[in-house]
Amino acid sequence: MIKAGIIGASGYTGGELLRLLVSHPDVRLELATSRSLAGKPVASTHRHLESFLDLKYENPGLEEIRERCDVVFVAVPHGTAMDYVPKLLDGNTKVIDLSADYRLDTPVFEKIYGIKHRDPRNAVYGLVELHPEAANEEFVSNPGCFPTGANLAAAPLAAAGLIDIAVFDSKTGISGAGISPTENSHYPNLAENIIPYKLTAHRHRAEIVQELTRLDAKLRNINFTPHVIPSIRGIFTTAHLFTKEPLSTEDIRGIYEEFYRDKPFVRFPGGVPSLTAVRGSNFCDIGFEVDKENNRVVVLSAIDNLVKGASGQAIQNMNLMFGLAETKGLWLPAAAP
């Protein structure tokens, strides 16, 4: 059994990690940390885990965490994971960081986040469909939720060198803002409303640019605008991909199905994807329509921001890192109505 620990287990991401790991056939949950809740039952804050988990929150030192765990998920705020990661990596313990601290090249990170990086190091960007090399690593940086949906929507056309301009319009549920209330997640502000924010300069654009230009170094015109919608979970991305040449529906279908062949968590359900069809699951559902008049392909992607956009993808990486099938513990249908 893989002994797993979670640093920062009291938030939404930590709760999803616990929910998925408690049923994973090859994992034993060893510890869940929280400085402020140490000594309290985990199920006292994550009520959905009542009767499934007897753990109490702990606040042990990093050396003890390293000694007790085979894998550690670091689910702490951006800018603080870099204080944990180097002390956890000892050649035996595998680490998966769910913050942004290691997703970008150090100079780009420092520019985007305005923080001096205290532990510059290379890390595999853990979007499994694009980076299966995570299987050979002891440390993986888990992608952001917006870039997961956007990059999966555009990667096949980018890899084929067919995109001239990419415009991403993404809608996210409130849980993407984290467990602490904000102005954008306060119910009276959001109910019956939609709130665009950071219209041209959202931090996650850097991850989208990084991955799409890795697939096509000539692609430069990449645009991204996020919105918060009155939903708890999910990210729905509409990608307007203006292509260098006319493409038919059959062309697009062939490119996408070939690119994602043997990628079990990418599905093509037909028509417009639905957030309800991926809720609570690790799937990314993709649909598309060709606008021949404008050399435009509209690609739609739907993910659960807390699962494929965070915790489920982290477990997908863990499975690869331990030589397991990437679907282990994750092959679950959505909690659709």
What is the structure's pLDDT at 187? 73
The answer, yes or no, to whether residue 227 has pLDDT greater than 90, is yes
CB 256 within 8 A of CB 316: no
- Other Cβ atoms closer than 10 A to 291: 13
What is the structure's pLDDT at 312? 98
The crossing angle, in degrees rounded to 10, of helices 145-159 and 205-215 is 20
Q: Which residues are catalytic?
A: 145
What is the structure's pLDDT at 191? 82
Q: Using CB atoms within 10 A of its CB, is residue 117 exposed (0-12), middle (13-18) or buried (19+)?
A: middle
The answer, yes or no, to whether residue 219 has pLDDT greater than 70, is yes
In sequence order, the β-bridge partners of residue 302 are 236, 285
CATH number of 146-305: 3.30.360.10
pTM, rounded to two decimals: 0.96
What is the structure's pLDDT at 180? 66
Indicate the DSSP class of residue 207: H
Which residues are CB-neighbours of 170 under 8 A, at least 6 positions away?
A: 146, 149, 150, 224, 225, 226, 227, 235, 236, 237, 238
Which residues are CB-neighbours of 59 under 8 A, at least 6 positions away?
A: 33, 34, 35, 38
Question: Identical fold at 2-122 and 146-305?
Answer: no
Instruction: Kindly state the tokens that stand for 14.
Output: 């930590």
The answer, yes or no, to whether residue 174 has pLDDT greater than 90, is no
The answer, yes or no, to whether residue 181 has pLDDT greater than 80, is no
The answer, yes or no, to whether residue 87 has pLDDT greater than 90, is yes
What is the structure's pLDDT at 295? 97
Min mean pLDDT across 80-94, 178-192, 195-209, 254-268 is at: 178-192
What is the structure's pLDDT at 179? 62
Residues 222-239 have a mean pLDDT of 95
What is the structure's pLDDT at 190? 72
Res. 192 pLDDT band, cuts 50 70 90 = confident
278-294: per-residue pLDDT in tens?
A: 999 999 999 999 999 99
Residues 95-112 have a mean pLDDT of 97
What is the structure's pLDDT at 189? 78
What is the structure's pLDDT at 91? 83
Read out DSSP for 85-96?
A: HHHH-SSSSEEE
What is the structure's pLDDT at 90? 84
The answer, yes or no, to whether residue 178 has pLDDT greater than 70, is no
SS3 percent helix, strand, coil of the chain, rounded to 5, is: 35, 25, 45
CB 182 within 8 A of CB 238: no
Which residues are CB-neighbours of 41 under 8 A, at least 6 positions away?
A: 54, 55, 56, 57
Report CA-CA distances (Å) from 246 to 160, 162, 252, 293, 294: 14, 10, 11, 9, 9
Percent of the chain whose pLDDT exceeds 90: 92
d(CA 82, CA 169): 31
Read out DSSP for 88-121?
A: H-SSSSEEEE-SSTTTS-HHHHHHHH----SS--
In sequence order, the β-bridge partners of residue 225 are 169
What is the structure's pLDDT at 183? 73
Q: Using CB atoms within 10 A of its CB, is residue 203 exposed (0-12), middle (13-18) or buried (19+)?
A: middle
CB 178 within 8 A of CB 99: no
Average pLDDT score over the chain: 95
The answer, yes or no, to whether residue 70 has pLDDT greater than 90, is yes
Task: Please indicate whether residue 190 or residue 214 has the higher confidence score (pLDDT).
Answer: 214
Task: Phi first, then psi: give them for residue 124, nearest 5 degrees.
Answer: -70, 130
d(CA 143, CA 127): 6
The third-level CATH classification (topology) of the domain covering 2-122 is Rossmann fold (3.40.50)
Percent of the chain whose pLDDT exceeds 70: 98
In sequence order, the β-bridge partners of residue 94 are 71
Domain residue ranges of the chain, discontinuous segments joined by + = 2-122, 146-305
Task: Please indicate whether residue 192 or residue 238 has the higher confidence score (pLDDT).
Answer: 238
In sequence order, the β-bridge partners of residue 45 are none
Residues 109-134 have a mean pLDDT of 96
Res. 44 pLDDT band, cuts 50 70 90 = very high
